Structure 1
Amino acid sequence: MTTILCLQELTSEQQEAVRQAAPEASIIFGRKPETEDQAFREAEIILGWDARVKSIALQEGAKLRWVQSWSSGIDSLPLDLLEERGIMLTDASGVHARSVSETAVAMMLGLSRGIAAAVRNQRTGLWESPDTLAEMNGGTVAIVGAGEIGREVARIARAFDMRVIAVRRSGGPMPEADVVYETSRLDDALREADYVVNILPLTGETQHLFHAERFAVMKRTAYFINVGRGATVRTEDLVEALNKGMIAGAGLDVFEQEPLPADHPLWAMPNVILTPHNAGGLTVRNGERLVKLFLSNLELYLSGHAADLRNLVDYKKRY
């Protein structure tokens, strides 16, 4: 009998949907201390993640064959060990596209329209406007890592009559963009952009992709938004670029070190918006989309079509 271990909190309706999708399986719901270690050893399918997956379910003799991640980013998982054990990993790519894209655009508006500065001034009753304000309308946005989230950002940007540059590893077409550049042309995109939205996953190729030289080619009036992965940016170089006025500001949801230390200089910068890695947070709709993805993949897995699972991670590419 197949054992399914659901570590994420599901509604009663969602739990029933899982039961109906796998009527012959043994299903355990809940991430609780009292969940017995034996459940991790017996689980063939795990929805979600916690430390006991690595310490128990990935050890010799365990029955794990497939993990459905609750997150789009999987760089924190033990990918080498998962690959070594021959375990399939599917991520939640695309599930958080709406919420992450809304955060990115909110940061773009908050910075360009002076809202971030106004919120800071509100605390002290300071009636002051930034020296310059910008408009998104008619501007150019470069979306670096133009997958599902990037497509959503592009769709919203088009509503602001923006020119959209998509930067993709494949260089393949994206209908929502005006032009697509391969990653080899990243610097060209940065030179043209009024807003740079980084949505890249963390891989060997993308680590510290944004560094001093990259910020140097950006417009001094441009804004840098990071809703991808923190380590794709060399933080000290970003801080220096902001201090020297090499770029106009930044909106950051992700960081090399999380939580961001309380004494980090980014906290005090007036031209920076910081959010605590919650752009892809578990909204009700995100939860619904995740369960829908899991159920779709579960049907494929149980019917013998595991190779067709959606969002199957390529361990060589690390995404």
Structure 2
Amino acid sequence: MSPAHSLISLRVAEKTAAADGVVTLTLRDPEGRRLPDWTPGAHIDLVLPGGRTRQYSLCGDRWDPYQYRIGVLREPAGRGGSVCVHDELAAGDTVAIGGPRNNFPLVPSERYLFVAGGIGITPLLPMIHQARLTGTPWRLLYGGRTRATMAFTGELAAHGDAVTLVPQDTHGPLDLPAALPRPDGRTKVYCCGPPGLLDAVERLCTGWPTGLLRTERFVPREQAPVRDAPFEVRLRRSDLTVTVTPDRTVLDAVRAAGVTVLSSCGRGTCGTCETTVLAGVPDHRDAILDDDERARGDAMFPCVSRACSDRLDLDL
């Protein structure tokens, strides 16, 4: 999962309403140059006016090398990024983007079940396109507050019975127990949406073999740290040792020691600050790694993750 850190400047070619409270941005190179390739599940870092950086899933055609498309839900109670996109950005404006990077890759399967809640539909759209290209059977269960708030329903209508739309105001909540397959190893489930949906799906899939369920969280799960005592972080390449106290992050401690680590979201969701662990046991607190990757313990995200052991040795 090596991150891509370089920024490029793109022009907002189109800004379109996709649903109540959702807009899409189509981004192109001002000189018409080809954009970096990407794969289903990838996202970009969007650098907004004032330097704020937010992550948005790519939801356009990955085989079109000249434009990116993202969908942005307006969140008035958020951190201001989505409101900026909705109220300030306009067609013709220039923005910087980083990436693409993919923490939610689509892996081969005999069939797929895609489960989306609200704006969580965005990373699943290119996955559906990929499944169709490879002739892999798939179904989509897509829920939202109302039909009017559910984006891309026009595009999805072309897929007929493979898509089940469930507006909560008229159909109630998603019937997850009925939708989820038996864990026979033949169907992989990809789910993206609000925390309540992801928590419910993960509960229902408790005990499944690793790799059959893959989720992407826009907000990491709340969890208490394993330890509340200070710990040491050894920076091997810099030949430095720093102490991380309970009131600061590993990233803050490392930067205070003068070591540069690129970071974007600061919440363990984007993957920009991924760091190799050489020794010690990380306390993983991100929303990126799966169970196998956490068990390996060879990478961590220092913006949120901490230590289970007294010391961590990092490749910094």
Larger radius of gyration: 1
Query: Same fold, TM exceeding 0.5?
Result: no
TM-score when normalising by structure 1: 0.33
TM-score when normalising by structure 2: 0.33
